Structure 1
Amino acid sequence: MSDVPDEDRTAAPPPVAAGRMLDGVLHLLDRQVLDRDGTPVTTIDDLELSDIPVDEPLDPAQPAPVITAIITGPVLCTRIFGGRPPESRWVRIPWRLVHELGIVVRIGIAADDLDASWTERWVRERIISRIPGGRNDPG
Protein backbone atom coordinates (compact mmCIF):
# COMPACT_ATOMS: atom_id res chain seq x y z
CA MET A 1 0.00 0.00 0.00
CA SER A 2 1.11 3.50 -0.74
CA ASP A 3 1.07 6.37 1.71
CA VAL A 4 -0.07 8.74 -1.07
CA PRO A 5 -3.79 9.64 -0.88
CA ASP A 6 -5.93 8.52 -3.85
CA GLU A 7 -6.66 12.09 -4.98
CA ASP A 8 -2.88 12.73 -5.35
CA ARG A 9 -2.28 9.56 -7.41
CA THR A 10 -4.25 10.62 -10.47
CA ALA A 11 -2.25 10.96 -13.65
CA ALA A 12 -1.58 14.42 -14.95
CA PRO A 13 -3.52 15.22 -18.13
CA PRO A 14 -1.50 15.09 -21.34
CA PRO A 15 -0.19 18.46 -22.50
CA VAL A 16 -2.32 20.34 -24.98
CA ALA A 17 -0.46 20.69 -28.27
CA ALA A 18 -1.42 22.55 -31.39
CA GLY A 19 -1.33 20.46 -34.55
CA ARG A 20 -0.87 16.74 -34.92
CA MET A 21 1.37 14.68 -32.64
CA LEU A 22 3.57 12.22 -34.56
CA ASP A 23 6.00 9.51 -33.65
CA GLY A 24 8.79 10.33 -36.11
CA VAL A 25 10.14 6.79 -36.31
CA LEU A 26 6.74 5.14 -36.68
CA HIS A 27 4.99 7.67 -38.93
CA LEU A 28 7.77 9.25 -41.00
CA LEU A 29 11.22 7.64 -41.23
CA ASP A 30 11.79 5.50 -44.33
CA ARG A 31 8.45 6.57 -45.82
CA GLN A 32 8.36 7.27 -49.54
CA VAL A 33 7.86 10.87 -50.62
CA LEU A 34 5.67 11.50 -53.69
CA ASP A 35 5.33 14.78 -55.55
CA ARG A 36 2.03 16.45 -56.51
CA ASP A 37 1.72 14.17 -59.56
CA GLY A 38 2.38 10.96 -57.61
CA THR A 39 5.96 10.64 -58.88
CA PRO A 40 8.37 9.07 -56.36
CA VAL A 41 10.90 11.63 -55.13
CA THR A 42 12.86 10.03 -52.30
CA THR A 43 12.49 8.41 -48.90
CA ILE A 44 12.71 10.16 -45.54
CA ASP A 45 16.09 9.51 -43.94
CA ASP A 46 15.94 11.97 -41.05
CA LEU A 47 14.00 14.92 -39.67
CA GLU A 48 15.09 18.41 -38.74
CA LEU A 49 13.43 19.71 -35.55
CA SER A 50 13.17 23.20 -34.11
CA ASP A 51 14.46 24.35 -30.74
CA ILE A 52 16.29 21.25 -29.54
CA PRO A 53 18.94 22.14 -26.94
CA VAL A 54 22.26 20.39 -27.48
CA ASP A 55 23.34 18.06 -24.66
CA GLU A 56 20.43 19.10 -22.44
CA PRO A 57 17.29 17.19 -21.50
CA LEU A 58 14.00 18.46 -22.90
CA ASP A 59 11.89 20.46 -20.46
CA PRO A 60 8.37 18.93 -20.37
CA ALA A 61 6.93 22.33 -19.46
CA GLN A 62 8.13 23.80 -22.78
CA PRO A 63 6.32 23.32 -26.11
CA ALA A 64 7.20 20.18 -28.05
CA PRO A 65 9.72 20.46 -30.90
CA VAL A 66 8.28 21.09 -34.36
CA ILE A 67 9.41 19.41 -37.59
CA THR A 68 10.99 22.01 -39.87
CA ALA A 69 12.32 19.82 -42.70
CA ILE A 70 12.52 16.35 -44.15
CA ILE A 71 16.13 15.29 -44.63
CA THR A 72 17.15 12.90 -47.35
CA GLY A 73 20.36 12.02 -49.08
CA PRO A 74 22.74 9.32 -50.27
CA VAL A 75 22.56 6.98 -47.28
CA LEU A 76 22.59 3.53 -48.88
CA CYS A 77 26.36 3.07 -48.51
CA THR A 78 26.34 4.40 -44.96
CA ARG A 79 23.56 1.97 -44.03
CA ILE A 80 25.64 -0.88 -45.38
CA PHE A 81 29.10 0.17 -44.18
CA GLY A 82 28.21 2.46 -41.27
CA GLY A 83 28.98 6.09 -40.67
CA ARG A 84 27.05 9.13 -41.77
CA PRO A 85 27.30 11.20 -44.97
CA PRO A 86 28.60 14.76 -44.61
CA GLU A 87 25.98 17.43 -44.00
CA SER A 88 26.74 18.97 -47.38
CA ARG A 89 25.26 15.85 -49.04
CA TRP A 90 21.92 16.05 -47.21
CA VAL A 91 18.94 17.54 -49.01
CA ARG A 92 16.35 19.41 -46.93
CA ILE A 93 12.71 19.51 -48.03
CA PRO A 94 10.88 22.18 -46.00
CA TRP A 95 8.05 20.75 -43.91
CA ARG A 96 5.69 23.46 -45.23
CA LEU A 97 5.72 21.60 -48.59
CA VAL A 98 4.13 18.49 -47.03
CA HIS A 99 0.47 18.23 -48.01
CA GLU A 100 -0.54 14.77 -46.83
CA LEU A 101 0.69 12.14 -44.37
CA GLY A 102 -0.36 8.55 -44.84
CA ILE A 103 1.24 5.39 -46.16
CA VAL A 104 3.35 7.79 -48.21
CA VAL A 105 4.19 11.46 -47.66
CA ARG A 106 2.89 13.74 -50.42
CA ILE A 107 4.43 17.12 -51.16
CA GLY A 108 2.82 19.93 -53.10
CA ILE A 109 5.46 20.59 -55.76
CA ALA A 110 6.90 18.71 -58.74
CA ALA A 111 9.80 16.32 -58.18
CA ASP A 112 11.92 18.06 -60.79
CA ASP A 113 11.84 21.24 -58.67
CA LEU A 114 13.74 19.49 -55.87
CA ASP A 115 17.40 18.55 -55.59
CA ALA A 116 16.25 15.38 -53.83
CA SER A 117 15.15 13.78 -57.10
CA TRP A 118 18.47 14.16 -58.95
CA THR A 119 19.38 10.48 -58.43
CA GLU A 120 15.99 9.38 -59.76
CA ARG A 121 16.43 11.61 -62.84
CA TRP A 122 20.04 10.44 -63.36
CA VAL A 123 19.06 6.75 -63.26
CA ARG A 124 16.09 7.39 -65.56
CA GLU A 125 18.14 9.35 -68.12
CA ARG A 126 21.40 7.37 -68.03
CA ILE A 127 20.28 3.78 -67.38
CA ILE A 128 16.54 3.16 -67.83
CA SER A 129 16.28 5.13 -71.08
CA ARG A 130 18.98 2.89 -72.65
CA ILE A 131 17.01 -0.29 -71.98
CA PRO A 132 14.83 -1.22 -74.99
CA GLY A 133 11.38 0.20 -74.27
CA GLY A 134 12.73 2.26 -71.35
CA ARG A 135 11.77 5.58 -72.94
CA ASN A 136 8.13 4.65 -73.39
CA ASP A 137 5.50 5.44 -70.78
CA PRO A 138 3.42 2.27 -70.30
CA GLY A 139 0.41 4.37 -69.20
Structure 2
Amino acid sequence: MSVRRAEKARSAVPEPPQPGRVLDARLHLLDRQVLDVDGVPVCTLDDLELDDVAAEPATRAAGGGTAVGDGPVVIRALLSGPVLGTRMFGGRPPGSRWHRLPWRDVTDIGTAVRLGVPGARLDVTWLERWARNHVVGRIPGGRARPGKG
Protein backbone atom coordinates (compact mmCIF):
# COMPACT_ATOMS: atom_id res chain seq x y z
CA MET A 1 0.00 0.00 0.00
CA SER A 2 1.43 3.38 -0.93
CA VAL A 3 2.04 6.11 1.64
CA ARG A 4 -0.67 8.28 0.10
CA ARG A 5 -3.26 5.49 0.35
CA ALA A 6 -2.27 4.76 3.94
CA GLU A 7 -2.72 8.44 4.88
CA LYS A 8 -6.09 8.54 3.13
CA ALA A 9 -7.26 5.37 4.89
CA ARG A 10 -6.08 6.67 8.26
CA SER A 11 -7.91 10.00 7.77
CA ALA A 12 -11.16 8.14 7.03
CA VAL A 13 -11.12 6.49 10.46
CA PRO A 14 -12.82 8.74 13.04
CA GLU A 15 -10.57 9.96 15.82
CA PRO A 16 -11.30 8.32 19.18
CA PRO A 17 -12.84 10.58 21.82
CA GLN A 18 -10.30 12.39 23.99
CA PRO A 19 -10.69 13.18 27.69
CA GLY A 20 -11.27 16.83 28.50
CA ARG A 21 -12.46 19.65 26.29
CA VAL A 22 -11.28 19.72 22.68
CA LEU A 23 -10.40 23.23 21.46
CA ASP A 24 -9.50 24.55 18.05
CA ALA A 25 -6.66 26.99 18.76
CA ARG A 26 -7.44 29.35 15.88
CA LEU A 27 -11.17 29.35 16.51
CA HIS A 28 -11.36 29.36 20.33
CA LEU A 29 -8.11 30.91 21.57
CA LEU A 30 -5.77 32.90 19.33
CA ASP A 31 -6.25 36.68 19.14
CA ARG A 32 -8.81 36.59 21.98
CA GLN A 33 -8.89 39.20 24.70
CA VAL A 34 -7.69 37.91 28.08
CA LEU A 35 -9.62 39.24 31.11
CA ASP A 36 -8.61 38.96 34.75
CA VAL A 37 -10.86 37.84 37.61
CA ASP A 38 -12.43 41.33 37.79
CA GLY A 39 -13.16 41.47 34.05
CA VAL A 40 -10.35 43.95 33.38
CA PRO A 41 -8.51 43.41 30.06
CA VAL A 42 -5.01 42.04 30.62
CA CYS A 43 -3.66 41.28 27.15
CA THR A 44 -4.42 39.64 23.83
CA LEU A 45 -3.62 35.96 23.37
CA ASP A 46 -0.89 35.70 20.73
CA ASP A 47 0.33 32.10 20.93
CA LEU A 48 0.19 28.88 22.94
CA GLU A 49 2.78 26.74 24.66
CA LEU A 50 1.86 23.09 24.12
CA ASP A 51 2.95 19.72 25.54
CA ASP A 52 2.49 16.30 24.01
CA VAL A 53 0.40 13.97 26.10
CA ALA A 54 2.93 11.55 27.55
CA ALA A 55 2.89 8.03 26.17
CA GLU A 56 3.90 5.09 28.30
CA PRO A 57 7.56 5.62 29.33
CA ALA A 58 8.41 1.98 28.49
CA THR A 59 6.99 2.40 24.97
CA ARG A 60 8.96 5.58 24.42
CA ALA A 61 12.18 3.99 25.73
CA ALA A 62 11.74 1.09 23.30
CA GLY A 63 11.62 3.50 20.37
CA GLY A 64 7.84 3.35 20.01
CA GLY A 65 5.35 6.06 20.84
CA THR A 66 3.50 8.47 18.66
CA ALA A 67 5.00 10.39 15.79
CA VAL A 68 5.12 14.17 15.75
CA GLY A 69 1.65 15.51 15.07
CA ASP A 70 -0.12 12.33 16.21
CA GLY A 71 -2.22 12.26 19.34
CA PRO A 72 -3.59 15.00 21.56
CA VAL A 73 -1.64 17.85 23.08
CA VAL A 74 -2.17 19.76 26.31
CA ILE A 75 -1.92 23.53 26.68
CA ARG A 76 0.81 24.48 29.16
CA ALA A 77 0.58 28.29 28.94
CA LEU A 78 -0.98 31.19 27.08
CA LEU A 79 1.60 33.48 25.48
CA SER A 80 1.42 37.21 24.90
CA GLY A 81 4.18 39.41 23.59
CA PRO A 82 5.57 41.75 20.98
CA VAL A 83 4.24 40.13 17.81
CA LEU A 84 3.32 43.13 15.66
CA GLY A 85 6.73 43.29 13.97
CA THR A 86 6.90 39.56 13.39
CA ARG A 87 3.39 39.53 11.90
CA MET A 88 4.39 42.22 9.42
CA PHE A 89 7.94 41.06 8.61
CA GLY A 90 7.88 37.36 9.53
CA GLY A 91 9.87 35.44 12.07
CA ARG A 92 9.16 34.80 15.71
CA PRO A 93 10.08 36.74 18.87
CA PRO A 94 12.68 35.06 21.08
CA GLY A 95 11.30 32.94 23.92
CA SER A 96 12.53 35.42 26.52
CA ARG A 97 10.20 38.12 25.15
CA TRP A 98 6.99 36.10 25.67
CA HIS A 99 4.83 36.63 28.73
CA ARG A 100 3.48 33.28 29.95
CA LEU A 101 0.09 32.91 31.64
CA PRO A 102 -0.18 29.41 33.15
CA TRP A 103 -3.10 27.35 31.84
CA ARG A 104 -4.13 26.55 35.43
CA ASP A 105 -5.15 30.23 35.82
CA VAL A 106 -7.76 30.00 33.02
CA THR A 107 -11.32 29.68 34.34
CA ASP A 108 -13.48 30.16 31.23
CA ILE A 109 -13.19 30.29 27.46
CA GLY A 110 -15.90 32.19 25.62
CA THR A 111 -15.75 35.32 23.53
CA ALA A 112 -12.85 36.20 25.82
CA VAL A 113 -10.48 34.05 27.85
CA ARG A 114 -11.08 34.63 31.57
CA LEU A 115 -8.47 34.18 34.28
CA GLY A 116 -9.05 33.41 37.94
CA VAL A 117 -6.30 35.76 39.16
CA PRO A 118 -6.07 39.57 39.40
CA GLY A 119 -4.24 41.23 36.51
CA ALA A 120 -2.03 43.30 38.83
CA ARG A 121 -0.26 40.05 39.86
CA LEU A 122 0.75 39.23 36.29
CA ASP A 123 4.00 40.23 34.58
CA VAL A 124 2.17 40.81 31.31
CA THR A 125 0.77 44.11 32.63
CA TRP A 126 4.16 45.63 33.51
CA LEU A 127 4.14 47.99 30.53
CA GLU A 128 0.76 49.46 31.47
CA ARG A 129 1.86 49.90 35.10
CA TRP A 130 5.12 51.55 33.98
CA ALA A 131 3.28 53.92 31.59
CA ARG A 132 0.76 54.80 34.34
CA ASN A 133 3.49 55.59 36.88
CA HIS A 134 6.09 57.26 34.66
CA VAL A 135 4.14 58.91 31.84
CA VAL A 136 0.45 59.44 32.62
CA GLY A 137 1.10 60.07 36.31
CA ARG A 138 3.32 63.06 35.48
CA ILE A 139 0.63 64.79 33.43
CA PRO A 140 -1.37 67.30 35.54
CA GLY A 141 -4.52 65.48 36.63
CA GLY A 142 -3.07 62.14 35.49
CA ARG A 143 -3.35 60.59 38.94
CA ALA A 144 -7.03 61.47 39.36
CA ARG A 145 -9.47 58.57 39.18
CA PRO A 146 -11.79 58.58 36.16
CA GLY A 147 -15.18 60.13 37.00
CA LYS A 148 -13.81 61.65 40.25
CA GLY A 149 -13.11 65.03 38.87
1:58 to 60, 69, 75: 69
Where structure 1 has 5 or more consecutive residues not aligned to the other structure, the ranges are 1-10
1:78 to 83, 86, 102: 86
2:119 to 111, 116, 119: 111
1:16 corresponds in structure 2 to 17
User: How far did 1:136 drift?
Assistant: 3.1
2:5 corresponds in structure 1 to none
2:143 to 130, 135, 138: 135
Distance 1:82 1:126, change over 3 A: farther
Within a 5 Å distance, the mapping from 1:89-104 to structure 2 comes to: 89-104=97-112
User: How far did 1:49 drift?
Assistant: 0.9
Q: Separation in 1 of the partners of 2:89 and 2:14?
A: 44
Q: Percent identity?
A: 58
1:48 corresponds in structure 2 to 49
> Which secondary structure state, in structure 1, belongs to the residue aligned with residue 145 of structure 2?
coil
User: How far did 1:130 drift?
Assistant: 4.0
2:36 equivalent to 1:35: yes
Distance 1:94 1:46, change over 3 A: same
Where structure 2 has 5 or more consecutive residues not aligned to the other structure, the ranges are 1-11, 54-66
Question: TM-score w.r.t. structure 2 length?
Answer: 0.71
1:6 corresponds in structure 2 to none
Q: Separation in 2 of the partners of 1:81 and 1:58?
A: 27
Structure with a larger share of its residues in helix: 2
| Contact kept? 1:31, 1:43, Cα under 8 Å | yes
2:131 to 96, 99, 123: 123
Q: Separation in 2 of the partners of 1:35 and 1:67?
A: 19
Alignment length, in residue pairs?
A: 123
Q: Separation in 2 of the partners of 1:99 and 1:88?
A: 26
User: How far did 1:132 drift?
Assistant: 4.9
Q: Separation in 1 of the partners of 2:138 and 2:90?
A: 33
Code of the residue aligned with 1:51 in structure 2: it is D
Q: What value does the CA root-mean-square deviation take over the aligned residues?
A: 2.1
Question: TM-score w.r.t. structure 1 length?
Answer: 0.76
User: How far did 1:128 drift?
Assistant: 3.2
User: How far did 1:124 drift?
Assistant: 2.5
